[in-house]
Amino acid sequence: MPKVDLHYYPESPLLTKFLLREQDKLLLTELHPSDYPILRSEFAKDKRAQVLWQDGFQQLKSKLPPSSRRGIILIDPPYELKSDYQSVVNAVLEGYKRFATGIYAIWYPVVLRQQVKRMMHGLQNSGIRKILKIELAVRPDSDQRGMTASGMVIINPPWKLEQQMRTFLPWLHKVLVPEGIGHTCVEWIVPE
Ligand SMILES: C[S@@+](CC[C@H](N)C(=O)[O-])C[C@H]1O[C@@H](n2cnc3c(N)ncnc32)[C@H](O)[C@@H]1O
């Protein structure tokens, strides 16, 4: 990745752009009418990328499998709609039917633990194997407003990710929360 002078968090599309190789392809979707043109202009001159003003959940049905037969799908909705938790499960099921060897990386916030638990149960009952949960909490769970933790669910995680996270997450937690509240977790919610 090139050395950049960071003033803002660059967000996943830009991080991906730095990592993309010449032969790779990137499909991005953004539904927000003001964010979409910004994202499109960021990739206007990049032949590897396609930016769609469409529902990302639908793309798992219409665009998978990729012709390369290898790929990673990042699912990163805002969860402002409660239905997003179930939409994630439905979209992953549709995607997995078409592309079972893909890596699926699903970000989730912990605002109300119950919502996350329902999403996890949906994934655990889907029949999909090899699901790793990675989570970092900076506060204990709460029923008050606000995010206390966030995590990633990774289906078909790359080799060594589990091991790397078991080293990296406790370090990150110590840096972010020196007083030691909250937790880290690296757990197979469905093993191989
Ligand atoms: C949590 S942000 C993540 C953005 C990006 N992945 C990042 O790292 O910054 C969620 C984004 O998804 C967009 N969005 C929400 N629902 C969507 C959907 N169904 N399809 C495509 N984009 C959606 C929102 O407008 C917002 O820009």
**Pocket-forming residues, ligand 1, beta carbon under 6 Å:** 11-12, 29-32, 35, 55-57, 76-78
Query: Is 76 annotated in the active site?
Result: yes
- CATH class in words for 71-190: alpha beta
d(C-alpha 136, C-alpha 125), whole Å: 24
Q: Where are the domains of the chain?
A: 1-54, 71-190
Sign (positive or negative) of CA dihedral 28, 106, 176, 165 = negative
Instruction: List the chain pLDDT tens, one digit each, 192 residues.
Output: 566 677 777 789 999 999 999 999 999 999 999 999 999 999 999 999 999 999 999 999 999 999 999 999 999 999 999 999 999 999 999 999 999 999 999 999 999 999 999 999 999 999 999 999 999 999 999 988 899 999 999 999 999 999 999 999 999 999 999 999 999 999 999 998
Residue 4, pLDDT score: 64
Instruction: Provide the whole-model pTM.
Output: 0.94
